[in-house]
Structure 1
Amino acid sequence: MDQEFHRIKRLPPYVFAEVNAMKAKARAAGEDIIDLGMGNPDQPPPPHIIAKLAEAAANPKAHRYSMSRGIPGLRKAQAAYYKRRFGVDLDPESEIVVTLGSKEGLANLASAITSPGDLVLAPNPSYPIHAFGFIIVGGSVRHIPAKPDDAFLDALERAVRHSVPKPVALVLNFPSNPTAHVADRAFYKEVVAFCRHHGLYILSDLAYAEIYFEGEPPPSLLEVEGAREVAVEFTSLSKTYNMPGWRVGFACGNKKLIAALARVKSYLDYGAFTPVQVAATAALNGPQACVDEVRALYRERRDTLIDGMAQAGWEIPRPPATMFCWAPIPPELAHLGSIGFSKLLLSEAKVAVAPGLGFGEHGDSHVRIGLVENKHRIRQAIRNVKQFLADPGPALARLDADKEAKRAP
């Protein structure tokens, strides 16, 4: 049987796969690759969280099935976090669901609320699940700008006015992966008013709420009056507490959407391992100095990378939040596109980055750089890039020669 499955046909080839294959081949050959491509924290969780995990796992009763919606203590801890951080009161029973990371929550909510042909508005560039979570389940996506400004609001209005069928939901992600844009309360207020008026649900991804560097802490969409009539917000412990592999996140907000997500999840999973949820509760309820330390670590790495790359001849905007730098391809190499540039950077400078095309076609002029190596390794990456950018001509000539060889009969 050689037919292709319908849902798989709607997923394009994974854009990062080609660069990842090159990276694996280089490492297998013994090359030292500095990997700034994946947003994968390199530090362990704080010791008190690991200790709580071990303590909970030592309980013989802790190894049975858990609760799909999350254990009550963890939902209460998330409600307490929203209260102290955002001033938002949430009901742990009806307005919070524990998810297996924010990515799973977004995908399963898309499954719960999307009918074949439904239209969803999502930014471009954006984290892939923001669009493909809906495409996988038969929906369609209309892209809007990624920056929270008047152009975004104008595009939102045009999308509602001219789309057939009418959009059912809008995806937001601020602080943004990959662009690091941050939205303020005034922007959220306008979006909430618009979506309430037009009957659109809002799915807000707030996974980077605690990784910020300048100005006020990023707000929650749920701070806006009336937001819970239309909105659900996703958060995660992955970056805040260096817990990406633990897969703990949350969906909070609109009761109807939370109930829909909980119902779908009840068919799909029994929730995260109970000791993981117990340790996640300790993370939210425990001392928060560790969050300040994570934030300081990324700020220091950000400044090292931005300042060093500027000296190397690569001007990169200084991100106000997230663990990423959204870097425009140097002008003399912009014709390569993000995949070509990423491959050349890997082969010539031994530095791996994420091609911007992987986040949407409007990201093809950029690459995403993750702050996931220590300062020593970042400085090494800067030296390698500086050497490459000083004279990229030979590498470009080799690239052109390779292309000609492939075209030859």
Structure 2
Amino acid sequence: MSISRVRRPWRFAAVALIAGTVLLSSGCGHGDKSPSWQGGGDSSAAAGGGTGSGNDAASPSPSPTLSTVAVVSPAADATNVVAAIEVKYTSEDPENTSVAVTDAGGNEVKGTLDKDSKVWRPDKALAYGTKYTVTVNGTASEGKGGSTTSTFTTMAKPSKIIRVTSFLGDGQVVGVGMPLIIKFSRAIPASYRDDVERRMTVTATPSQEGSWGWISPTEVHYRPKVFWKANSKVFTDVRLAGVPLGNGYYGKSDLTVDTKIGRSFVMTVSNKTKQMTVKQDGKVIKTIPVSLGKKSTPSSSGTMVVMEKARHTVFDTTDTDPVNGYKTPIDFAQRITWSGQFIHAAPWSEGKQGHVNVSHGCVNVSEAMGAWLFSRTMMGDPITVSGTEEKLKQGNGWTDFNVSYSAWKKLSYL
């Protein structure tokens, strides 16, 4: 699929955190007590090593040529500048060039300086309707230097905004198959999605490779290359306040979420053996007989995760199928697809479990094993079913791990 991307001057690249240091040039002596000064002194004495009369005044050397530093954007005295702006500048000696941005009160704005790209970026969106001053200093080093200032004013607070929310909250503990889910209150145009991804960072401890993938124009997920490492800490940082998001809309605010990954609890189900194998932290702790969906209502083969749990509920399909529908009380239900497949206790099929498939697509276990599983699982615990007549449809649940990592990365706009 070919996506046309609109290049905008405020596009954000990866941030390099570089501490600006100031280097002062120093003159080095030649060890000669009678130096020859350019444009002054007794030239014959200098050439022949004789001594001067002392009456010739030495003139100072001319000032070194200073490098040119300039603010490229925002333009000088620009108005209506987006709050998520980045400052671009030029310098012949970027390593020894510093950039400071101050508000009308002279308070310096916190930001990071990318000297390789010659870009300064604020740590968060600037205030709306505020005048700022940019000062670029090319400190004298090896004969180069210079200084310039420029001002700009940010736009008024926009009326068209897009809210950004996280499905997970701070401190929430989830399973190793749980994706990070970010939702938008309005569709993000395809040409803006790469910019959105650049403004969303995920930091896992310990470090783990991962990628964003767009599920829809209003929803984007993040998953690691393989299941999360057990007991990881995951920090999500979304910086979209003041960022243009298309059609005159702007991000309303920034968002941060601290998430904890729990122990590794992985369930695998084989239709061939009619058994579920449960591993915790890599070790088999239980083998459970199951009954899957009969041929007319097969269970889906693929990798799913536990999305919600209900100790007691009622399955009611009479509204969609008045003739063959049913209404049945269920214990220890754990949803794994949006279409209605669950892991749950089914005392009526205990004689069939481990031998024959009789369910409507769910993973049936005994009442005792249903209670045992229910007491140990958490949202995001993965379950992989294999060998059934039907493949899991992508998007029928949180199916992020149902595809290869290479296929998942194709859902990113970077």
TM-score by length of 1: 0.24
- Structure of greater relative contact order (alpha carbons < 8 Å, 6+ residues apart): 1
- Larger helix share, 1 or 2: 1
TM-score by length of 2: 0.23
